[in-house]
Structure 1
């Protein structure tokens, strides 16, 4: 399933991808208010969205925390730590971009009213299909229980049913370019 979704994403023409990214930017900005804290991410490759979303949130005086992925000495993923986005990104492992140090502890996710999560797909009850490494699985349980957990996907990536594991934290919403904020569960 991951391979099929990634292949379909890569086939999306650039002009469609840019239009969808702008629509996601507009829709996310409408959900947040000045003074809010949001945990977001920097889209890479064919992921929906763009880094322009981050700049527009900061311009609206929204605090943006970005994830920093690290592993323990045995190579196992650790919960994400977070860095304040101030307009600067540095190259990171896995082809990612992240804010420069200093970093906040993993528990900083608990300060966000909204957590925007990368996903390959999400189903109508909130199960999220990620890349499979487990960084978000280790982190989302630390989010504020009242926070919106939003999977960002393309419109056709909101599915009826996905497999789920007991440790998966369900998403409360999906954000799509065409459908906007979709309540799950």
Structure 2
């Protein structure tokens, strides 16, 4: 059974990855601009002063302008750094693009003073990557399990929103025991509350 679910997820991830690669530069830029506005609104509506986010790759919904602007507004932004043991370290973001290097999986990650995995326990809001999210709030990542492990281990989890494109909000996703739900999603056109935050 789990094998079937894993095969289903793998096929769906491949389809979603391909769909993202077909977007034009202009579509990506427009999406990033719209997303920055939505993310700003979410941060303001929650009164968040400390958040975690991620540095988007070229095919992901663009978060970099949002991160820079949040830092300039005085919001503390933690960015993830992957570790070989499956955990995430964190670095406080700056508004300088020179502070970015290639991480463990070739993904953009911040350089700077590394804080341990528990640093994220202090944030008011988590913004995380995803391949897709279904309408019950179930999130499917890219298969490495970093964010499932992080969210699952937090004693007091803040609201967690996945940042995705509109077409990646699906009716249903295959799920496994370790998969963690999210509070909602932020897309270029909408912010959806899907499940209540856990306390």
Unaligned runs of 5+ in 1: none
TM-score, L = length of structure 1: 0.90
Following superposition, the deviation at residue 65 of structure 1 comes to 0.2
Q: Contact 1:66–1:84 at 8 Å: present in 2 too?
A: yes
Residues 40-59 of structure 1 mapped to structure 2, 5 A cutoff = 40-59=53-72
Corresponding residue of 1:156: 167
Corresponding residue of 1:123: 134
Quote the RMSD (CA, aligned, Å).
Answer: 1.6
For residues 35 and 137 of structure 1, do their structure 2 counterparts lie closer, same or farther at Cα, with a shift above 3 Å needed?
Answer: closer
Following superposition, the deviation at residue 183 of structure 1 comes to 0.7
Following superposition, the deviation at residue 15 of structure 1 comes to 0.6
Following superposition, the deviation at residue 92 of structure 1 comes to 1.8
Following superposition, the deviation at residue 148 of structure 1 comes to 1.2
Corresponding residue of 1:36: 49
User: In structure 1, what is the Cα distance between the partners aligned to 2:140 and 2:167?
Assistant: 14
Unaligned runs of 5+ in 2: 1-11
Segments ≥4 residues shifted beyond 6 Å: none
Give the paired residue count: 179
Matched, 1:60 2:64: no
Give the helix-richer structure, 1 or 2: 2
The superposition leaves residues 119-165 of structure 1 with CA deviations (integer Å, 9 ceiling, x where unpaired) of 01000111111110111111112446351100111111101110122
Corresponding residue of 1:105: 116
